[in-house]
Structure 1
Amino acid sequence: MEVINENSAMLSNYEVYSLLTDIQAGRGQNKPNKHQQQLATITYETIKYLETKPCKIQSQESIVEFMKELEPYNLTKAEKVQILNLCPTTAVEIQLIVEESEERLMEDQIYSLLEVITKYNPTEEEEDAETEPTND
């Protein structure tokens, strides 16, 4: 993954995570050398943090599909990126992310938006349930 113009776009956590793991692995960008120890530390700590977030299980394909499903809600780009990064699970969280949400989204739209978020970003409990063997 290549950042085309680092000053012109908001990046999702997935994009940052992908870029940093590429740097850490020595792909694409140069791996930090001994004179860039602080950069290596920041890279490591940021990756460690992002591995606890939904971006770790996201893919480029799922993000594209997710963004398509967000189109009917008339959200700004910033709101979409925040929803992608934070994966809110309650109506209150949606209201905190979407500016003037009371005027822009009906209550049923908020709950359908939460369903879309859950579809593309299952909670840890749902992931565990999918990976656990059944005792039939």
Structure 2
Amino acid sequence: MEISNPCFSVLSNYEVMESLKTLKDTKKKYGLRNLATITYETLQFLEDSPCKQQSRETIHAFLTEVKALNCKLTTTECLMMVNDPPTSALHIQLLIEDSEERLTEDQVNELLQIVAKHFPNAPSENN
């Protein structure tokens, strides 16, 4: 296998969902029956996740505010918060490594407020 492009980027669930919708809507059929099945099942999963309520604008605004908060979160941690918006301090502890040492209680509360502001339809922990 040859690497054609050494640059890479991580995709959010929203971006994957949009790409699969585009792939599904194309008229070209590649002769891969399994591709249609995988696309359908993945879309079914993503349609039941928080990414269905997201948009490029809300994700960008969320990431901008989180960056301004100056929590020094990694790209992966930010991506996990976009894909699975935290609804409690415990949820943040599960998503962010060593959050007890890296974040103050005020920063955790601010993160939760930012999540609630940009992803208001995120499932609550009581559901």
TM-score bucket of the superposed structures, by smaller chain: 0.7 to 0.9
> Counterpart of 2:23?
23
Secondary structure in 1 aligned to 2:101? helix
How many residues are matched? Answer: 118
> Is the 2:62–2:114 Cα contact (8 Å) retained in structure 1?
yes
AA matched with 1:123: N
The AA in structure 2 aligned to 1:37 is R
Q: Which amino acid aligns with 2:85?
A: C
Counterpart position of 1:89:
87
The alpha-carbon distance between structure 1 residues 90 and 16, as it changes in their structure 2 partners (threshold 3 A), is same
Q: More displaced, 75-84 or 50-59?
A: 50-59
Of structures 1 and 2, the one with the larger relative CO (CA 8 A, separation 6+) is 2
Instruction: Give the structure 2 partner of residue 52 of structure 1.
Output: 48
Please, which runs of 5 or more residues in structure 2 have no aligned partner? none
TM-score normalised according to structure 1 size: 0.79
Q: Over aligned residues, Cα RMSD in angstroms?
A: 2.1
Identity percentage over the alignment?
43
Distance in 2 of aligned mates of 1:6 and 1:52 = 33
Runs of 4+ in 1 over 4 A off after TM superposition: none
